[in-house]
Chains A and B, each alone.
Chain A
Amino acid sequence: MAKATQAKAAPANSTAKQNKSTDGSAKKTARRRPGKAQPPASAEDLLGFYRDMLLIRRFEEKAGQLYGMGLIGGFCHLYIGQEAVVAGVHANALPQDSVITSYRDHGHMLACGMPPDGVMAELTGREGGLSKGKGGSMHMFSREKNFYGGHGIVGAQVPLGTGLAFAHKYKKDGGVCYTYFGDGSVNQGQVYESFNMAQLWKLPVLYIIENNKYGMGTSIQRSSSTTELYQRGSAHGIPGTQVDGMDVIKVRDATAEALEHVRGGKGPYILEMLTYRYRGHSMSDPAKYRSKDEVSKVRSEQDPIDNLRQMILSTNAADEATLKAIDGDIKAIVTHAADFAKASPEPQLSELYTDILVEA
């Protein structure tokens, strides 16, 4: 997967400038950049983002389709709508960094460079899946890509990610752990237990709250006494920034700024990404808790991929034909993944009793 490099010149009114403070105060950034500025990233970077995000979207659409056919079972939480978050964050990643997230995890795996074939085959519960079919949608891992799951207990990945950061510090390897969690998990007690230790011990962890506004079927307003989630670290002196998570460039820049703090040994930082999931919480969610108008308004006005596409075309970073070619490439990758996931055999029955313990 193409890795976008950090833009040398941050836009004049970027989130970065507004958040120089590292004194534990939380800042709210402009949600949208007014007017049209010069290109905020190189053409190569923009096309890289387009490719990364489109791969996630098309992959998830295909997963939804395979679910509908009964090829994917159980829980399946799709990331459609939230692609800009993981694409923008990961553009800043260094090879030694680590990533951990919840069960809405397919996009994170793809962004980490894990193979679409292996992810899709895990969704179908096949031998060729990244966990040999024994994990499923919510449980995939990659030592090679430093991706530590895929966790099904809401909020549990937050202390786990804090522990990965502890290991970065213990080993002095310069890495940062990107710990993703949703608005649904921010009221779990273990999140604050983690915040406390991360700040106390100045652990290199970037907490990324993907606020898609609904924890399953309960809106943030109905679940949370305070809804400005970037401020949730303030009791522990952890600085936070609210970011337009539908804009991949803003995500990338805010992450770069936060990472200066984290890599500088100043401890954790919180980024609240305002985003939106188009699909239900899981596949069997009828979505009665929000209106269709709400969903379609976000899709038509804030879609991260459509907006990036517009940006690419309006800044002449690429032409329609180039984008079309990328569309075709992505379609081929996803089709290949689906074919692989359907053709790969189910695990051998002898796998039932393997991988329970490591033989000492």
Chain B
Amino acid sequence: MPIQILMPALSPTMTEGNLAKWNVAEGDTISAGDVICEIETDKATMEVEAVDEGVMGKILIPGGTEAVAVNAVIALLLEEGEDKSALDMVEMAGQTPKSNPAPVATDSPAMAAHADPAPVSAPAAAAEILEPEYDGPMITQTLRESLRDAMAEEMRRDDSVFLMGEEVAQYQGAYKVSQGLLDEFGEDRIIDTPITEYGFSGLAVGASFAGLKPIVEFMTFNFSMQAIDHIVNSAAKTLYMSGGQMGSSIVFRGANGAASRVGAQHSQCFAAWYSQVPGLKVVAPWSGADAKGLLKAAIRDPNPVVFLENELLYGTSFEVPASEDFVLPIGKAKIERTGTDVTITAFSRMVGLALEAAELLAAEGISAEVINLRTIRPLDTGTIINSVKKTNRIVSVEEGWPQSGVGAEIVAQVMENAFDYLDAPVVRVHGEDVPMPYAANLEALTLPTPEKIKAAAKAVCYA
């Protein structure tokens, strides 16, 4: 049977076009790749190349025809050994000639198999994550030491873990988080990079594709904007794009948010940005135990994890479990203080401020429950909702900007899941909606304070 040549589409949205002219005539011998005709739309003219070889048997749509439907048969090609009588057979039999290509997508049984789509929604939240009990010995150490110990323990445990970043090795870390690691692990595993965030982040993601487990330190997350393409497009999306074949087990960590008097370009919180991306996990510890237990979990996690630290906490001392087996589950918030009148959610350094606010509120007879979110994605909405069902009031605290922020997400979650339990609209306490000013008084005005949190909590309590 002759081969049907169909009117091709120039783009996925094209439904018809003009057959401008034929470059071959009936009887011409055609090789695969020969330009046989030109078609045009209002946007473009394109040449159509033959896919099969043979002799042009019959041109069914002459050159100059307008509005030819995509997939209409425009010509018949005789295969080797066929002569013109094959064309007559097509017409006489009235049957569909051997079609190469075959019928269009929408008519094929393969497509019909799923033609009646059932509604699909995100899977329900997984079973509640339980945090392991720990009643072993504790040590007091600074948060930077907890982070360092977490990395060191995981590097001893797994040879494929390595640390790279600016000043992490010989300088011992811009904020001394990696102090001592070069001595123990050597320059093959503690790697000073050039100042080249886009490049070394991409390099680390590539290494993770090959099965290594990089820890990438950003001196601050402000510089991760140079690298965000690799964090989002390369690290977060590859597992999905590969149909589950190839993922990226990698940690991006460093100081996030405002430090002190460092100005607009060094004072941004990125929690909301990264938390929007499916394929990423986003962790923001507050305490030393958070830092150690969650960083160890992040390093062991087979997925890309953005690990947001806070420079102002690096020197703060906390009680930390002394066990190397202490690992916290990602995705589990912690109720740092129980209360009955109002829920306050916070993460990173804001947890400390929220606890201070709770003290102030207690002095005024208001019992606040403080939730340390610890993980921003996946957000532990269960703990938040359960708390709201008890207190009927909630204030969210973050140092980042308000629009599309973590607080905005919490507001939406509470609306969707606990609307009937609310006795007051949710209030957000957040960094002011401005680039961070340098002047000390203006900077202080920009950031949340225990007093601002207290005022918000009182407002939702109508107190």
Least CB distance from A233 to B in Å reads 14
User: Which of A70-78, A221-229, A247-255 has 4 or more CB atoms under 8 Å from chain B?
Assistant: A70-78
* Chain B nearest Cβ from A345, distance in angstroms: 5
Pick from B51, B110, B193: contact of A342, CB below 8 A.
Answer: B110
Is B428 an interface residue when CB atoms closer than 8 A count as contact?
no
Identify which of A7-15, A18-26, A30-38, A139-147 touches chain B: A139-147
Residues of A within 8 A of B246 (CB): 141, 143, 148-149
For A151, what are the chain B residues with a Cβ–Cβ distance below 8 Å? 234
A24 to chain B, nearest CB (A): 18
Q: For the complex, is B382 an interface residue (Cβ under 8 Å from A)?
A: no
Binds B, one of A41-49, A129-137, A257-265, A308-316: A129-137
B210 lies within 8 A of A164 (CB): yes
Smallest Cβ distance from A48 to chain B, in angstroms? 21
| Interface flag for B10 (CB, 8 Å) | yes
Q: Determine how close the nearest CB of chain A comes to the CB of B158; give it in whole angstroms.
A: 13
Q: Is the CB of B204 within 8 A of A163?
A: yes
Scoring B70, B120, B300 by chain A CB atoms within 10 A of each residue's CB, the highest score goes to: B120
User: B319 contacts the other chain (Cβ, under 8 Å)?
Assistant: no
Tell me which residues from 278 to 325 in chain B have a Cβ below 8 Å from any Cβ of chain A. Answer: 278-279, 281, 300-303
A338 to B123, CA, bound (A): 34
CB distance from A282 to the nearest CB of B (A): 9
- B244 to A71, Cβ gap below 8 A? no
Q: Cβ of B245 and Cβ of A141 under 8 Å apart?
A: yes
A61-B49, A197-B194 known; A360-B120 Cβ under 8 A: no
Contact B206 A164 (CB under 8 A): yes
Residues of A within 8 A of B100 (CB): 335
A170 partner residues in chain B, CB cutoff 8 A: 162, 188, 207, 212
A160 and B245 within 8 A (CB):
no
Is the C-beta of B62 less than 8 angstroms from some C-beta in chain A? no
Query: When the two chains form their complex, are residues A357 and B229 in contact, meaning their CB atoms are under 8 A apart?
Result: no
Contact of B209 with A148 in the complex, beta carbons under 8 Å: yes
B6 interfacial contact with A, CB 8 Å: yes
Contacts of B247 in A (CB 8 A): 358
Which of A64, A166, A200 lies in contact with B206, CB distance below 8 A? A166
Q: Which of B45, B193, B196 has the most CB of A within 10 A?
A: B196
User: B7, B118, B206, B241: which contacts A135 (Cβ < 8 A)?
Assistant: B241
Among A184-234, those with CB < 8 Å from B are: 189-190, 193-194, 196-197, 200
B198 touches A189 (CB 8 A): yes
Given A131-B245, A194-B202, A342-B108: A284 and B10 interface contact (C-beta under 8 Å): yes
Q: State which of A131, A152, A164 has its C-beta within 8 Å of the C-beta of B243.
A: A131
CB within 8 A of A70: which of B12, B196, B238, B239?
Answer: B12
A95 and B194 alpha carbons, distance in the complex (Å):
32
Q: Which of A58, A171, A350 meets B120, CB within 8 Å?
A: A350
Interface presence of B434 (CB below 8 A):
no
Known contacts A163-B204, A353-B122, A67 near B9 by CB under 8 Å:
yes
Q: Is A68 an interface residue (CB 8 A)?
A: yes
B27 beta carbon closer than 8 Å to chain A:
no
The answer, among A68, A124, A162, A354, for a CB contact under 8 Å with B202, is: A162
Q: A283-B11, A352-B120 are in contact. Are A160 and B234 (CB under 8 A)?
A: yes
Interface membership of B419, Cβ < 8 A: no
A contact residues around B211 at 8 Å (CB)? 167
| Number of cross-chain contacts by CB at 8 Å | 231
Q: Is the CB of A68 within 8 A of B110?
A: no
- Report if A193-B207 is in contact (Cβ < 8 Å); known contacts: A70-B70, A156-B229, A346-B114: no
Interface residues of B in 182-231 (CB under 8 A from A): 188, 193-194, 196, 198-212, 229-230
Q: Which residues of B contact A193 (CB under 8 A)?
A: 194, 196, 198-200, 202
Complex contacts, A152 vs chain B, CB 8 Å = 233
C-alpha gap A167/B205 in the complex (Å): 10
Q: Which A residues are CB-close (under 8 A) to B229?
A: 153, 156
Closest CB in chain A relative to B86 CB, distance in Å = 19
Using an 8 Å CB-CB cutoff, how does the interface string of A328-360 with B read, 1 for contact, 0 for none? 000000010011001111101110111111101
Interface readout for B10-34 with A: 1 if CB under 8 Å, 0 if not?
1110000000000000000000110
Instruction: State whether B8 touches A68 (Cβ < 8 A).
Output: yes
The reply to whether A166 and B207 contact each other, CB–CB distance below 8 Å, is yes
User: In the complex, what residues of B have CB within 8 A of residue A58's CB?
Assistant: 32
* Residues of chain A within 8 A of B279, CB atoms compared: 356-357
Q: Judge whether B110 and A344 touch: CB under 8 Å.
A: yes
B11 with A360: CB separation less than 8 A: no
Q: How distant is the Cα of A33 from the Cα of B198 in the complex, in angstroms?
A: 41
Residue from the list B162, B202, B330 in contact with A160, Cβ < 8 A: B202
Tell me whether A64 and B51 are in contact (CB under 8 A).
Answer: yes
For A141, the chain B residues whose CB sits under 8 A away are 238, 241-242, 245-246
Which chain B residues border A190 with CB–CB below 8 Å?
A: 198-199, 202
CB contact between B241 and one of A69, A134, A158 (< 8 Å): that residue: A134
Asked if B240 CB lies within 8 Å of chain A CBs, one says yes
The answer to whether residues A163 and B203 also contact, given A143-B245, A143-B246, A343-B110 and a CB cut-off of 8 A, is: yes
The answer to the question of A98 belonging to the interface, with a C-beta cut-off of 8 Å to chain B, is yes
16 additional A-B residue pairs with CB within 8 Å, beyond A70-B9, A70-B71, A71-B104: A62-B51, A64-B49, A70-B105, A129-B243, A135-B241, A142-B245, A148-B209, A159-B199, A163-B203, A163-B208, A164-B209, A197-B199, A335-B100, A342-B102, A342-B105, A353-B122
27 contacts between A and B (CB under 8 A): A67-B8, A69-B70, A69-B101, A70-B105, A131-B245, A134-B243, A135-B243, A141-B238, A141-B245, A148-B206, A148-B246, A153-B229, A159-B198, A163-B203, A164-B206, A166-B212, A167-B209, A196-B199, A197-B193, A200-B194, A345-B110, A346-B110, A346-B111, A349-B120, A357-B303, A358-B303, A360-B303
Instruction: Please give me the 10 A-B residue pairs with the lowest Cβ-Cβ distance, nearest first.
Output: A163-B206, A68-B8, A193-B199, A159-B202, A286-B44, A167-B210, A132-B243, A160-B206, A163-B203, A139-B241
